[in-house]
Amino acid sequence: MSVKSVIIGTGSALPKERVSNEQLASRIETSDEWIRGRTGITARYLAGEGETTSTLGTDAARAAIAAAGIDASKIGLIILATATPDQTFPASATKVQAALGINDCVAFDVAAVCSGFLYAITVADAMLKTGAAEYALVIGAETFSRILDWEDRTTCVLFGDGAGAVVLHADPNAGDRGILASKLHADGRHNELLYVDGGPSTGDQVGKLRMKGQEVFRHAVTNLASVLQEVLDMAGVAASDLDWVVPHQANRRILDATARKFGLPPEKVVITVDEHANTSAASVPLALDVAVRDGRIKRGDLVMLEAMGGGFTWGACLLRY
Ligand code: UT7
């Protein structure tokens, strides 16, 4: 029987401080009406002193490991997706590893911005199938508030901080459960539409996020629809077979447009962008954990994860939970 990667636990973590649109509007020239109307966002969580990508990632990982009911020492692989690592190096995955007290395993970061979790879970799935480990921890964690230009109202209102994690088990007796199909893409020609204007090899600044929102929006709707169809075709299932779609939470209007395109009723789409805003690589595992913990996503459900972000990078992953 072939090995499949099965999610056996999910977890998430948010910073302590919740900032509503009204609170933001008291600091910069914006309004709750504009943010809510254009994006569906009503609030976001922002990291405070002592809260970093690795501390949020560690908290999410602890919750996922507890939900999985395994000892942390069983984890043989940690992949952390982030565009906002604690340090340029080492990988934040190794900081999570140390915080969890796992003394020897494979640990590295993946940089695919908002698609990071899709990249990370797809790589983890492939590695588990080669026998690299029996249990993998896959984390999406970000502190985008630290790379936002708080003078640029067109971007700073859109993002938030947080982390989500899953434990994957390489299960030889998974039956019909586990990751069924996934597909990743990148098109490096679109760097100037969504990027950070700094970095270790181009200057001495960490840099700030820059985005041409309208153009990113158009690419997102097209690319997400095409990769979703690709993965449905790979698995030989129809959109109507899906129990849940857990999309990257960038903008409520993108989520609604994608759902409409596939004839999916809105109640099958997990939405957290209203409360979390766009948390980049953290958004898919955060939304997944919310829907697992509130009882919407149940064992045996057919679930599609999807995301699109800077690079551009995009991808989708179909699994039976
Ligand atoms: O996670 C990675 C992927 N990222 C995305 O998917 C983001 C994709 N893009 C979007 O979600 C949307 O394009 C935005 C939410 C960023 C912008 O929505 P939009 O409907 O494309 O608005 P816009 O950029 O066309 O801006 C319209 C107006 C402008 O004013 P004028 O020139 O029409 O007078 C802006 O100056 O809204 C103004 N504006 C604001 N007003 C109040 C821009 N930002 C704000 C703001 N508050 N925060």
Structure tokens at 134: 């029996």
Domain 178-320, CATH class in plain words: alpha beta
Nearest CA to ligand 1 atom 10: 213
Ligand 1 near 219 CB (within 6 A) = no
For residues 317 and 267, give the distance between their C-alpha atoms in angstroms, rounded to a whole number: 20
Q: Is the pTM of this model over 0.85?
A: yes
For residues 259 and 243, give the distance between their C-alpha atoms in angstroms, rounded to a whole number: 13
Q: Where are the alpha helices (DSSP H) in 13-163?
A: 21-25, 32-39, 53-68, 92-100, 116-129, 153-156
Q: What is 96-116 written as a DSSP string?
A: HHHHHT--SSEEEEE--GGGH
Residues known to be catalytic: 114, 248, 278
Ligand 1 near 213 CB (within 6 A) = yes
82 CB contacts (<8 Å, ≥6 apart)?
Answer: 53, 57, 92, 109, 110, 111, 116, 140, 141, 142, 280, 281
Check residue 137 and give its pLDDT: 98
Neighbour count for residue 246 (Cβ, 10 Å): 27
> What residue has token string 């630290």?
146
Mean pLDDT over residues 269-283, rounded? 98
Percent of the chain with pLDDT over 70: 100
Please give the distance, rounded to the nearest whole angstrom, from the Cα atom of residue 43 to the centre of ligand 1: 17
Check residue 1 and give its pLDDT: 67
Task: Read off the DSSP letter of residue 173.
Answer: T
Structure tokens at 178: 């586990």
Q: Is 311's pLDDT higher than 90? A: yes
For residues 166 and 137, give the distance between their C-alpha atoms in angstroms, rounded to a whole number: 6
Mean pLDDT of the chain: 97
Please give the distance, rounded to the nearest whole angstrom, from the Cα atom of residue 84 to the centre of ligand 1: 23
The answer to whether the Cα torsion of 225, 276, 52, 163 is positive or negative is negative
Domain spans, the chain: 4-171, 178-320
HSE, CB side, 13 Å, CA atoms: give it for residue 268. Answer: 19
Check residue 314 and give its pLDDT: 98
Please give the distance, rounded to the nearest whole angstrom, from the Cα atom of residue 262 to the centre of ligand 1: 25
Ligand 1 near 250 CB (within 6 A) = yes
Nearest CA to ligand 1 atom 43: 154
Q: Is 295's pLDDT higher than 80? A: yes
For residues 221 and 257, give the distance between their C-alpha atoms in angstroms, rounded to a whole number: 7
Same topology, domains 4-171 and 178-320? Answer is: yes
Instruction: Tell whether domain 4-171 is in CATH 3.60.21.10.
Output: no
pLDDT digits (tens, 9 = 90+) for 90-119: 999 999 999 999 999 999 999 999 999 999
Tell which atom from ligand 1 comes closest to the C-alpha of 39.
15
Q: Phi, psi at residue 205, to the nearest 5°?
A: -105, 145
